[in-house]
Structure 1
Amino acid sequence: MTTLQPPSYSNEIKVAFPQEHVLLLTLNRPKSLNAITPTMTADIKAVLDWFDNEPSLWVAIITGEGRAFCAGADLVAWNKRQASGGAESDQQSIIDSVDGFASVSRRYSTCKPIIAAVNGGAYGGGVETILNCDLVVASENAKFALPEVKRGVVAVQGGMPRLSRTAGHQLASEMLLLGKTITAKDAAKRFGFVNKVVPQGEVLSTALAWAAEINANSPDAVQSTKRALLLATRNGSIEEAVIAHMGSKESKRAFTSENIQEGLKAFIEKRKPSWKNPAKL
């Protein structure tokens, strides 16, 4: 895996390959609680776009350096833009940024699973980022909040519709209208956007174990399945979602790949399948 060559990036993120087929992306501004800057967003976009197109990488894990996962937007920089009359440009940049906050919160292009390993507090855009990940493991001391209304701003980067669908209108309102901070336990049991809560020292190892479980399956089938999940949020009925999925590039690849042949053959022969990297779409 050390032969992989990601695009260049600043020291505001870290990139590693801790096990086969796995990308680990770490937000690396611990003194600022990993608040997202334009540089960090550009770095994450470049790395995740590359990840999308690298056949040997099948799962990404996103975590934070230090005691926080992500404090959201850099409000100091936002205040400077607002003071200089940048409100309209801020609105337009949100519309134009198809991948959303930190190039993750509205990312739709990738059909590869993304796991959030929440090592500490997640606030504002940090929560919006988590809500667009496929699996979320959080430390026992993690906190979550969408406090935008307390600062006169709005959680507009995909967090509101996703939280409403996951938690329901009333629970979503509890976080969004009150700006309320919730515990990892509540995020898992009441609000439903955390899969598992673990001790602080087990967050990353749990995410890596999940990645290994995912990668024990056919990458073609996994990526086709994620595309189906994404399409389910964009289509009005089950029938429309099924038809859209069957017409997708990921579905066509899954039905015609070497991996479907290998999976069926391994079942007949009562052995573990040996998966190959998916063909580029």
Structure 2
Amino acid sequence: MPPTTKLSPPAVSGEILLDFPQEHVLLITLNRPRSLNAFTPGMTDDLRRVLNWFEDEPSLWCVIFTGAGRAFCAGADLKAGIKTTGRQAETGEKIISDMHGFASISRRESKKPFIAAVNGSSFGGGTELTLNCDLVVASRDASFGLPEVKRGVIAIQGGIPRLVRIAGHQLASEMLLLGKTITADDARNRFGFVNAVVAPADVLPTALEFASQIVANSPDSVQSTKVALLLTQRHSNEETLAVHVRSPETVANFQGANIKEGLKAFNEKRSPVWQNAGTRTAKL
């Protein structure tokens, strides 16, 4: 059994399921299939605890999100949402103060890769969650929508800026201003936020294959690169370089055991044996 099966994640409700399908990989399954995995406040609390733990657990290098049943995620459970318009200002302030966004994911800037295994429909916050993942696998029958304008609300938890950066203003407007639902093929070929469209039975295996390829690489290098990907969304090229080379993840890469192991393995014509990110070796 892989070592990650011995981990002790935080206790969660039955609304999310945790698994460790392969070494260094966490699988999170949204588990409200009768409600199309719509998020409750309790689910968000569960995910906040789990993802904070995941960030700090050195033996976990990658996370996959998927949904139970026929949907990936229908967004927020509207029955648990705002009850009166008089609470809008209070909710707006709460959104600003919630640094991780919808489901504690849509604005979370993790140093570790996120993969979405979209097994069905994805609407509202579910699409915002997807847009914040680094790699997205979708089933052929998957669909994506940001229908907030049809409900009198806004895709304000991270969906708007992410979609505009990926798809551009005009294509983003199709989803955001029209409330339009798009197919998995359109999400890949026109909008550009899906990496692979596969048969429904192949969604999770394909996501696991992506995860396998990630954890075959140096976790120090992967985490430093992920930080750079996020920095490019906020800074110019020169500013990104300056911040990136001084980041804790990049410093750890330069000073860690894995950079030495990677170069040594290359010279010895063998596969490298990586250690957890941040592992140091004694100075020679």
Name which of 1, 8, 12 aligns with 2:15: 12
Partner of 2:100: 99
Name which of 25, 31, 36 aligns with 1:33: 36
Cα distance, 1:52 vs. partner?
A: 0.4
Cα distance, 1:90 vs. partner?
A: 1.2
Matched, 1:137 2:137: yes
Q: Mapping of 1:111-122 within 5 angstroms?
A: 111-122=111-122
Report if aligned partners of 2:166, 2:193 keep a CA contact under 8 Å in 1.
Answer: yes
Quote the Cα distance in structure 1 between the aligned partners of 2:198 and 2:20. 23
Q: Mapping of 1:1-281 within 5 angstroms?
A: 1-80=4-83, 82=84, 85-108=86-109, 110-235=110-235, 237-279=236-278
Report if aligned partners of 1:55, 1:280 keep a CA contact under 8 Å in 2.
Answer: no
Report if aligned partners of 1:13, 1:27 keep a CA contact under 8 Å in 2.
Answer: yes
Cα distance, 1:279 vs. partner?
A: 2.4
Cα distance, 1:89 vs. partner?
A: 1.9
Cα distance, 1:2 vs. partner?
A: 1.8
SS in 1 for 2:230: helix
Count residues in correspondence: 277
Cα distance, 1:234 vs. partner?
A: 1.5
Cα offsets for 1:215-264 (capped at 9, x unmatched): 110000000000000111121x1000011000100000011110000000
Quote the Cα distance in structure 2 between the aligned partners of 1:78 and 1:17. 32
Supply the AA of the counterpart residue of 1:265. Answer: K
Runs of 4+ in 1 over 6 A off after TM superposition: none
Report if aligned partners of 2:146, 2:179 keep a CA contact under 8 Å in 1.
Answer: yes
Supply the AA of the counterpart residue of 2:129. Answer: T
SS in 2 for 1:175: helix
Supply the AA of the counterpart residue of 2:254. Answer: F
Quote the Cα distance in structure 2 between the aligned partners of 1:137 and 1:240. 32
Quote the Cα distance in structure 1 between the aligned partners of 2:70 and 2:279. 38
Supply the AA of the counterpart residue of 1:198. Answer: V
Cα distance, 1:86 vs. partner?
A: 2.0
Unmatched 5+ stretches in structure 2: none
Report if aligned partners of 1:119, 1:142 keep a CA contact under 8 Å in 2.
Answer: yes
TM-score, normalisation: structure 2: 0.96
Cα distance, 1:130 vs. partner?
A: 0.5
Cα distance, 1:79 vs. partner?
A: 4.3
TM-score, normalisation: structure 1: 0.97
% identity of equivalent residues: 62
Supply the AA of the counterpart residue of 2:173. Answer: S
Quote the Cα distance in structure 2 between the aligned partners of 1:119 and 1:244. 37
Supply the AA of the counterpart residue of 1:102. Answer: A
Cα distance, 1:280 vs. partner?
A: 7.5
Report if aligned partners of 1:137, 1:203 keep a CA contact under 8 Å in 2.
Answer: yes
Supply the AA of the counterpart residue of 2:107. Answer: R
**Segment drifting more, 71-80 vs 244-253:** 71-80
Quote the Cα distance in structure 1 between the aligned partners of 2:70 and 2:140. 12
Quote the Cα distance in structure 2 between the aligned partners of 1:212 and 1:63. 17
